[in-house]
């Protein structure tokens, strides 16, 4: 059972970012309309292109994901480790995150932080933007620390038991988050805030990019791992079966601790300041980080097959039909299953990006947003939507008021995101740039920059984006109708997250303890990032201000 004194905190952590998501998603739809030339202007309803794009990225990729990771972590840890979370620390963490978000929102909406979600220097934001981001991240650290004493107590009290797999997954996500946010905290606190306050004359932009991308790739696994917790510990049960192998679940989580950080240079293959040898090392490590996800694909397919066969599934492929794809009682299932389907393409395109030569073809083109809408806006976003609905209704003791519509949402989203990405992949392969208001340049037939070969890709992107916008509206219809329905204290008191039993419950010592994996992760980081950092620091780059 989820701790009672955490319920209000979890609800705020779920519902506040969902409210902001309405605005974030609206700017997603505007993006595709600008890019397709439907809006041919610098701004729409008083909000300019880059302000809208900043709000879209910051709300959807930073605020929603961080709040959700903490909320879901509070729920999983308190249920699986028997009510052991420090409510005071959880409240302090949530308060810091809320204050940080509100502080950062001010400059974004006032037009003083048009720096996109990557906030590269020398684009400069108002100091409050950076301060708000710092508070949001520190709040998430405090929320993580709130789990540690209870976990250590639980370990002491249950020396013979394995830590429940869901808790292992959540701890993995936050160990990665703790490691990867330290360099970006340095970037923001030591480089960007003093510069934006006018205390320093500029920023070593090469160093700031290195620090940002040290954070930027592990960040994606911080987004992904709560989703993997749902895949491993809940989806097999929803499918009517068991998790095929407990060991492989643990191995995958531990492997991410080692592999998710030492490879951020694959975002900087075009960075002249770093030697190609280290870029090659990061490329190899990037191929390696795909392995835990490939293992996940096989383990989950086996788990789904087992569940489907329990439901009467037969044959080599026909058993897929016995999964609860359209079951309105198990409406959470398609949010997870369709995420997996989308991730097949998201993963393949990630592997394309990982190679030095292929990345040169697609870097900074619309291929990149196509890739990441099949990852963070695919499995991650669908899992966030489904679980936010499931958790908030469960904690409030309410039932889903429109279960058929709840089932439809992930299908509509999947259709939209496939059309959208097809358009952006096509455009990217023809050189269409990302982060560009194409309607006033390359998609404007009256401009001498006009690129007729980009039109089809951007039109497809717009069609897909509109369908994705429709899915979000349908989701809010389900959420609001359900939140307005009658409440039952009995339902709230008996609510718990689903937990899958393992089919093979192997007990392998090597995956029982976080410590050796964390040490291996730190060694890998020192090897892969130490020399590039020395290269950048010893080059003495001049400080840049504009
Ligand atoms: Fe990525 C750029 C490489 C995964 C997000 N990535 C980005 C950016 C974002 C992002 C946001 O190497 C842009 C950042 C920016 O603003 O510039 N990415 C990878 C690789 C992986 C990968 C190798 N990315 C993710 C995930 C993300 C994410 C996950 C978010 C959550 N990515 C890159 C690279 C770049 C990049 C370069 C920089 C490119 C550039 O030039 O700028 C891997 O982790 C992917 C491994 C995944 C798999 C898929 C496994 C499949 C599964 C599904 C099984 C399905 C089943 C159901 C069982 C190998 C688990 C079956 C059903 C049936 C019906 C059959």
Which ligand 1 atom minimizes the distance to the CA of 363? 41
- Verify whether ligand 1 is closer than 6 Å to residue 358 (CB atom): no
- Which run of H or of E encompasses 245? strand 243-245
**C-beta separation of 65 from 222 below 8 A:** yes
Q: Which of 79-88, 172-181, 518-527 has the lowest mean pLDDT?
A: 79-88
* Stretch 178-186: mean pLDDT: 97
DSSP line for 337-383: HHHHHHHHHHHHHHHHHHSHHHHHHHTTBTHHHHHHHTTIIIIIHHH
Instruction: Give me 215's structure tokens.
Output: 């954070």
H helix intervals, 158-273: 165-186, 193-196, 205-233, 235-238, 246-259
| Beta bridge partner(s), residue 502 | 243
Mean pLDDT, the chain, rounded, equals: 97
CA distance 371 to 353: 9
Tokens representing residue 102 in the block: 């509100």
Q: What is the pLDDT of residue 162?
A: 96
Q: What's phi and psi for 434, nearest 5 deg? A: -80, 170
Are 356 and 280 in contact, with CB atoms under 8 Å apart? yes
Provide the pLDDT confidence category of residue 545 given band limits of 50, 70 and 90. Answer: confident
Closest CA to 416 of 480, 370, 450: 370
* Alpha-carbon separation of residue 165 from 3, 55, 472, 496, 501 (angstroms): 19, 35, 31, 16, 10
Q: Please count the other Cβ atoms lying within 10 Å of the Cβ belonging to residue 156.
A: 8
For residues 469-484, average pLDDT? 98
How many CB atoms neighbour CB 120 within 10 A?
A: 12
Among 335, 347, 358, name the best residue to mutate to test ligand 1's pocket (greatest count of ligand atoms within 8 A of Cβ).
347
How far apart (Å, rounded) are the C-alpha atoms in residues 335 and 332? 6
CB of 227 within 6 A of ligand 1: the answer is no
Residues 16 and 425: their CA atoms lie apart, in Å, by: 33
Question: Can you tell me the distance from the alpha carbon of 98 to that of 94, in angstroms, rounded to the nearest whole number?
Answer: 6
The answer to whether residue 540 scores a pLDDT higher than 90 is no
Ligand 1 pocket check: which of 224, 321, 372, 381 to mutate, most ligand atoms within 8 Å of Cβ? 372
- Report how far ligand 1's centroid is from the alpha carbon of 45 (Å): 34
- Residue 351 beta carbon below 6 angstroms from any ligand 1 atom: yes
Atom 3 in ligand 1: residue holding the nearest Cα: 350
pLDDT tens, position by position, 79-101: 999 878 999 999 999 999 999 99
Whether the CB of 345 sits within 6 Å of ligand 1: no
pLDDT tens per residue across span 277-332: 999 999 999 999 999 999 999 999 999 999 999 999 999 999 999 999 999 999 99
Q: Look at residue 83 in the predicted model and tell me its pLDDT.
A: 74
Q: Which residue has the tokens 């966030």?
A: 384
Task: List the structure tokens of 150.
Answer: 């209870």
Residues forming the active site: 217, 221, 371-373, 434-435
Give the pLDDT of residue 75. Answer: 97
Residue 231 in contact with ligand 1 by CB distance below 6 A: no
CA torsion angle for 448, 452, 458, 460 (degrees, to 10)? Answer: 160
What is the pLDDT at residue 115? 96
Separation of CA 348 and ligand 1 centre (Å): 7
Tell me the best of 346, 378, 382 to mutate to test the pocket of ligand 1, counting ligand atoms within 8 Å of each CB and taking the most. Answer: 346
Is 64:384 a contact under the CB 8 Å cutoff? yes
Does the C-beta of 376 come closer than 6 Å to ligand 1?
Answer: yes
Task: State the distance from the centre of ligand 1 to the C-alpha of 106, rounded, in angstroms.
Answer: 32
Distance CA 28, CA 63 (A): 15
Q: Cα(181)–Cα(271) distance, rounded to whole angstroms?
A: 22
Give the integer Cα–Cα distance in Å for 13 and 142: 14
- pTM of the entire predicted model: 0.97
Does ligand 1 lie within 6 Å of residue 323's CB atom?
A: no
Evaluate if residue 396 carries a pLDDT over 90.
yes
- Residue 131: which H helix or E strand, with range? helix 127-145
Q: Is the CB of 375 under 6 A from ligand 1?
A: yes
Q: What's the 261 CA to ligand 1 centre distance in angstroms?
A: 14
**pLDDT at 107 > cutoff 90:** yes
Residue 167: pLDDT band with limits 50, 70, 90:
very high
How would you write 63-111 as a 3-class SS string? HHHHHHHHHHHHHHHHHHCCCCCCHHHHHHHHHHHHHHHHHHHHHHHCC
For 444-460, write each residue's pLDDT tens digit.
999 999 999 999 999 99
Q: What is the pLDDT of residue 82?
A: 82
């Amino acid at each position: 059972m989820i701790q009672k004194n955490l319920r209000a905190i979890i609800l705020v952590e779920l519902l506040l970012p969902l409210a902001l998501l309405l605005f974030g998603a609206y700017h997603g739809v505007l993006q595709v309309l600008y890019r397709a030339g439907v809006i041919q202007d610098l701004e729409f309803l008083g909000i300019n292109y880059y302000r809208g794009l900043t709000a879209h990225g910051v709300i959807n990729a930073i605020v929603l994901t961080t709040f959700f990771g903490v909320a879901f972590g509070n729920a999983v840890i308190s249920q699986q480790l028997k009510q052991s979370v420090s409510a005071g620390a959880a409240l302090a963490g949530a308060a810091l995150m809320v204050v940080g978000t509100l502080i950062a929102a001010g400059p974004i909406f006032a037009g003083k932080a048009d720096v996109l979600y990557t906030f590269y220097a020398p684009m400069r934001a108002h100091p409050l933007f950076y301060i708000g981001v710092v508070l949001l991240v520190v709040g998430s650290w405090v929320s993580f620390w709130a789990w540690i004493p209870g976990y250590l107590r639980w370990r002491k009290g249950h020396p013979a038991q394995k830590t429940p797999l869901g808790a292992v997954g959540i701890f993995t996500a936050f160990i990665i988050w703790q490691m990867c946010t330290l360099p970006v905290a340095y970037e923001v606190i030591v480089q960007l805030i003093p510069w934006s306050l006018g205390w320093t004359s500029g920023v070593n932009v090469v160093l700031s990019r290195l620090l940002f991308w040290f954070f930027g790739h592990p960040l994606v696994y911080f987004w992904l791992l709560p989703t993997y917790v749902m895949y491993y510990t809940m989806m097999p049960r929803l499918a009517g079966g068991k998790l095929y192998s407990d060991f492989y679940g643990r191995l995958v989580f531990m492997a991410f601790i080692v592999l998710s950080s030492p490879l951020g240079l694959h975002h900087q293959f075009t960075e002249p300041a770093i030697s190609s040898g280290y870029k090659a090392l990061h490329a190899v490590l990037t191929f390696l980080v795909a392995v835990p996800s490939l293992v996940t694909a096989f383990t989950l397919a086996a788990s789904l097959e087992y569940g489907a066969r329990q439901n009467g599934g037969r044959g080599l492929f026909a058993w897929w039909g016995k999964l609860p794809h359209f079951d309105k009682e198990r409406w959470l299932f398609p949010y997870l299953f369709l995420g997996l389907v989308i991730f097949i393409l998201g993963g393949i395109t990630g592997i394309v990006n990982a190679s030095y030569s292929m990345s040169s073809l697609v870097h900074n083109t619309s291929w990149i947003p196509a890739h990441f809408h099949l990852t963070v806006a695919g499995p991650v976003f669908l899992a966030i939507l489904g679980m936010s609905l499931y958790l908030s209704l469960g904690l409030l003791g309410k039932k889903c008021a429109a279960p058929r519509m709840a089932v439809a949402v992930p299908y509509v989203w999947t259709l939209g995101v496939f059309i959208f990405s097809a358009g952006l992949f096509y455009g990217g392969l023809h050189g269409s740039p990302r982060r560009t208001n194409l309607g006033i340049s390359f998609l404007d037939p009256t401009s001498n920059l006009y690129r007729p070969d980009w039109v089809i890709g951007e039109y497809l992107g717009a069609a897909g984006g509109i369908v994705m916008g429709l899915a979000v509206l349908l989701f809010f219809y389900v959420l609001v109708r359900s939140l307005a329905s009658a409440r039952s204290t009995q339902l709230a008191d008996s609510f718990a997250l689903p937990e899958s039993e393992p089919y093979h419950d192997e007990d392998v010592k090597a995956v029982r303890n976080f410590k050796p994996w964390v040490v291996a992760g730190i060694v890998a980081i020192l090897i892969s990032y130490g020399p590039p950092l020395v290269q950048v620091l010893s080059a003495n780059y001049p400080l840049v201000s504009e």
